């Protein structure tokens, strides 16, 4: 029996050591993906569209502003996209990148490299990016606008640390992390109006409403719930406890948050901006969306599949024991 246990221990040790070596050796896997034919332009109307997307529905500023700018972002103000925001999640610490045209940001990256990162989730070094950005199906026209604006903003020098993954994060990186590309054919352009079709485009391919209002695995980013049925839990630690935020159900079911809301009530809520400081909802940037954009999103949400999923409490503070 002792001999059996000894050999079992040796075998398990070899397996564990082998797995660890494999994980460490595969931290820099590279992938191939096409470079979209996207080129920045200097047309003022295109740049204005890009600025609106960056500080409005695409809410790039919500993640790519530096931490000290957080209060201004909550108010919907325009601040530099210098990066450095920390996302402390179960797999480790993820840092948002500097998106200004400085050499510490995107200054040395080509338009095609930036477009590939947004559309295919592959960095300029060929590594898979964590799927936090919902721009895989963003139209060519809007990608041109976004990148054109990023090129025109003032350069800010800010060296952002590399992501700091724990052992779990390193395992996810080695075994599970792969690029995520477009679902279907990416549109060249999208008609801007108040229709449900345009609302679907904004909600799924620009504003990432689905990304937060659908339950998902925070380690891999994979969706685990039904679209727009809510239930994704975020925890924000504080000195005296933890704020627990759960995204509400946005489907037109009786348990949905928007049940009984008129289109004008929907718009009015966005105009109020941030009411709960700890929220992950980018109310500041979203408050900058136009009435027509909000009308379109409202119309789209009325068309999604109703899902019975009652979220009783969306904001809870748990005191430390």
User: 142 in helix, strand or coil?
Assistant: helix
| Cα 293 to Cα 58: distance, rounded to the nearest angstrom | 12
- Confidence category of residue 134, pLDDT binned at 50, 70, 90: confident
- Confidence category of residue 163, pLDDT binned at 50, 70, 90: very high
pLDDT of res. 170? 92
- Predicted TM-score (pTM) of this structure: 0.91
pLDDT of res. 3? 67
Question: 222 to each of 119, 156, 168, 176, 230, how far by Cα in Å?
Answer: 17, 34, 16, 10, 14
Q: Say which residue, 28 or 6, is predicted with more confidence.
A: 28
Q: Say which residue, 312 or 147, is predicted with more confidence.
A: 147
Query: Per-residue b/e over 41-57, b at no fewer than 16 CB within 10 Å?
Result: beeeebbebbbbbbbbb
Terminal CA-CA length for the chain: 45
Q: How far is CA 181 from the centre of its chain?
A: 14
Portion of the chain with pLDDT greater than 90, in percent: 72
Q: Which helix (H) or strand (E) holds 277?
A: none
Radius of gyration, alpha carbons of the chain: 21
Strand partners, 267: none
pLDDT of res. 177? 87
Mean pLDDT, range 209-227, rounded to an integer: 86
| Cα 120 to Cα 118: distance, rounded to the nearest angstrom | 6
pLDDT of res. 20? 83
- Confidence category of residue 14, pLDDT binned at 50, 70, 90: confident
| Cα 281 to Cα 226: distance, rounded to the nearest angstrom | 19
pLDDT of res. 55? 96
Classify residue 184 by its DSSP letter: S
pLDDT tens per residue across span 71-124: 999 888 999 999 999 988 888 999 999 999 999 999 999 999 999 999 999 999
Mean pLDDT, range 174-203, rounded to an integer: 94
| Cα 283 to Cα 56: distance, rounded to the nearest angstrom | 9
Asked if 145 and 206 touch (Cβ cutoff 8 Å), the reply is no
Where do the H-state alpha helices sit in 2-80?
2-25, 44-55, 60-64, 70-74
Written as six digits, the tokens of 279 are 């929220």
Residues 6+ apart with CB under 8 A from 239: none
Helix axis angle, 140-152 to 44-55, nearest 10° = 90
Portion of the chain with pLDDT greater than 70, in percent: 96
pLDDT tens per residue across span 189-203: 999 999 999 999 999
User: 140 in helix, strand or coil?
Assistant: helix
Question: What are the residue ranges spanned by the domains of the chain?
Answer: 30-177, 190-321
Asked if 204 and 137 touch (Cβ cutoff 8 Å), the reply is yes
Q: Among 11-15, 65-69, 80-84, 312-316, where is mean pLDDT lowest? A: 11-15
**Neighbour order of strands in the sheet with 315-319:** 233-238, 241-246, 315-319
């Amino acid at each position: 029996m002792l001999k059996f246990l000894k050999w079992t221990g040796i075998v398990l040790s070899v397996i564990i050591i082998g797995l660890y070596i494999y994980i460490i050796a595969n931290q820099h896997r590279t992938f191939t993906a096409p470079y979209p034919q996207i080129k920045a332009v200097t047309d003022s109307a295109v740049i204005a569209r890009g600025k609106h997307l960056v500080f409005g529905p695409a809410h790039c500023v919500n993640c790519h502003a530096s931490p000290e700018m957080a209060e201004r972002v909550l108010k919907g103000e325009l601040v530099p996209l210098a990066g450095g925001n920390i996302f402390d999640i179960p797999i480790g610490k993820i840092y948002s990148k500097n998106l200004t045209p400085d050499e510490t940001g995107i200054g040395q990256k080509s338009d095609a490299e930036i477009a590939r990162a947004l559309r295919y989730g592959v960095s300029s070094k060929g590594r898979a990016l964590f799927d936090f950005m919902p721009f895989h199906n963003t139209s060519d026209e809007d990608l041109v606008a976004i990148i054109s604006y990023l090129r025109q903003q003032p350069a800010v020098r800010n060296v952002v640390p590399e992501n700091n993954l724990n052992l779990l994060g390193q395992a996810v990186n080695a075994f599970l992390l792969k690029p995520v590309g477009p679902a279907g054919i990416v549109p060249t352009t999208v008609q801007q109006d108040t229709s449900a079709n345009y609302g679907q485009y904004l909600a799924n391919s620009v504003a990432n409403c689905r990304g937060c209002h659908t339950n998902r695995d925070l380690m891999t980013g994979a969706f685990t719930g039904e679209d727009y049925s809510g239930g994704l839990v975020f925890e924000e630690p504080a000195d005296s406890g933890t704020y627990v935020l759960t995204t509400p159900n946005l489907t037109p079911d009786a348990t949905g948050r928007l049940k009984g809301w008129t289109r004008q009530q929907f718009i009015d809520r966005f105009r109020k901006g941030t009411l709960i400081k700890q929220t992950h909802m980018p109310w500041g940037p979203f408050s900058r969306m136009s009435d027509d954009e909000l009308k379109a999103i409202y119309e789209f949400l009325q068309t999604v599949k109703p899902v019975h999923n009652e979220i009783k409490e969306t904001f809870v503070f748990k005191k430390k024991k």
